[in-house]
Amino acid sequence: MHQLTSFATDYTRYVLKGGTKFYAWMGSLAVLIVGMLYVFYLQNTDGLIVTGMTSQIHDGLYFANLVFLVGVAAGAVTIVFPAYVYHHEGMHKVTVLGEMLAITAVIMVMMFVFAHMGRPDRLWHMIPIIGIYNFPHSMLAWDVLVLNGYLILNAICGFYYLWIKYTGGKINNKWFMPLVFLSIVWAFSIHTVTAFLISTMPSRPMWFHSMMPIRFIVTAFAAGPALIILAFMIIRKNTKFWIDDSVINLLSTIVTYCLGIAIFLTMSEVVVELYARTEHANGLYYLMFGLHGLTKLVPWFWASVVLMVGSFLLLIFPKFRHDYKMLPILCATTFAGIWIEKGMGLIVPGFIPSPIGEVTEYYPSFVEVLLTLGIWAFGFFILTILLKGAIGILLGDIKYRGAKAVATR
């Protein structure tokens, strides 16, 4: 018990300690978070009318971010898998950072759920026993199950590891390893189920195909590690914690391959849909070229194509991939390209045209943009705290009495 309280106080004390740069970063995030709280209040007094969503297009920026961030959460498995299955030395050292990212992403997903719902005050209706949980019929119920499971698994694995490092004890592999492997499988499940969420609706032909889960997973395994590489680059530059080149190189290889497969799958979809050009292809056609003169998403789509294909063409050359000045830029463009493709570019055209043939458009309102930015800011806020704490423990800066440090340069 004493160990636990000293863990909490040491952890908090370490996280709160920081220079001007740290506080400027956290402060600017806090400003956005306050803005988010304000528009969330607006949205829950005036209603969703303050967003761009309508009865025709009722899933927008929030749902798009939700779907994307499930992918980021699942992307953490690109660290855990090589670390524990292939015993990759460098990865093993940073596994816990991947788990911290997963925790953050799932929390952000849950916040987007709150932002998306018409009646967030009634969320308790979903809680079994006091409410009704439509399991196994509702795909959303499955999603809630797998997301919460993933959060718990990562929290247990991550914080147990940190706890052991803090106290200087030994990891009990008897139950720790099974949990780690479960979390690997579970990572696939969260994104598969999220894909099923929209691909099981014949009413929306653009989504109604079985390629959706694999497309979700490969885009996740490109965008997730791309973000992780960026985070690792920042960590290498700003802390004493050293992340091996081998880790970054393996991650950038994963990004490259997955991005390539993602582009291939998108291309397959375009060929299949546009070759036959049935009415069911209208959504995709709207996205690529516009429909009935409505073209708001067209620039977004082509921007995403340029970002994804451009990044891929450069990433396949080891010369660029191993150039650590170039790599962060390529990771950022990959991340942005997939954010568009899998976010707005996937969710919104699913509603265009509506099932009875009406073509309308959606564009996020200021409230939606600010709320979304606020949730991202909140995500970065907790990610900073979690990563800083984890690194402190790995460095041995936070330790219980005289426990040994794990990793220094």
Applying CB under 8 A, which residues contact other proteins? 46-49, 51, 53-56, 58-59, 116-123, 125-126, 131-134, 137-141, 144, 197-198, 200-204, 279, 350, 353-358
Contacts of 61 (CB under 8 A, 6+ apart): 51, 52, 343, 344, 364, 368, 369, 372
Count of CB atoms situated within 10 Å of the CB of 150: 27
The CB-of-176 to other proteins minimum distance in angstroms stands at 33
Task: Closer to other proteins by CB, 201 or 233: give it.
Answer: 201
Task: Closer to other proteins by CB, 334 or 365: give it.
Answer: 365
The CB-of-143 to other proteins minimum distance in angstroms stands at 9
Task: Closer to other proteins by CB, 63 or 312: give it.
Answer: 63
The CB-of-271 to other proteins minimum distance in angstroms stands at 18
The C-alpha atoms of residue 209 and residue 198 are separated, in whole angstroms, by: 10
Asked if residue 136 has a cis previous peptide bond (ω within 30° of 0), the answer is: yes
Task: Closer to other proteins by CB, 137 or 401: give it.
Answer: 137
The C-alpha atoms of residue 67 and residue 300 are separated, in whole angstroms, by: 17
The CB-of-171 to other proteins minimum distance in angstroms stands at 37
Task: Closer to other proteins by CB, 240 or 292: give it.
Answer: 292
Angle at 317 between CA 244 and CA 288, to 5 degrees: 110
Contacts of 160 (CB under 8 A, 6+ apart): 171, 176
Task: Closer to other proteins by CB, 205 or 337: give it.
Answer: 205
Asked if 301 and 287 touch (Cβ cutoff 8 Å), the reply is yes
Rg (CA), the chain: 22
The C-alpha atoms of residue 379 and residue 382 are separated, in whole angstroms, by: 5
Q: For residue 273, what is the DSSP state? A: H
Task: Closer to other proteins by CB, 58 or 236: give it.
Answer: 58
The C-alpha atoms of residue 383 and residue 404 are separated, in whole angstroms, by: 25
Q: At what angle do helices 327-342 and 212-238 cross, to 10 degrees?
A: 150
Short-list 40, 25, 260, 79, CA closest to 187: 79
The CB-of-329 to other proteins minimum distance in angstroms stands at 37
The CB-of-72 to other proteins minimum distance in angstroms stands at 22
The C-alpha atoms of residue 124 and residue 118 are separated, in whole angstroms, by: 13
Task: Closer to other proteins by CB, 276 or 356: give it.
Answer: 356
Residue whose structure tokens are 């063409």: 313
Asked if 360 and 82 touch (Cβ cutoff 8 Å), the reply is no
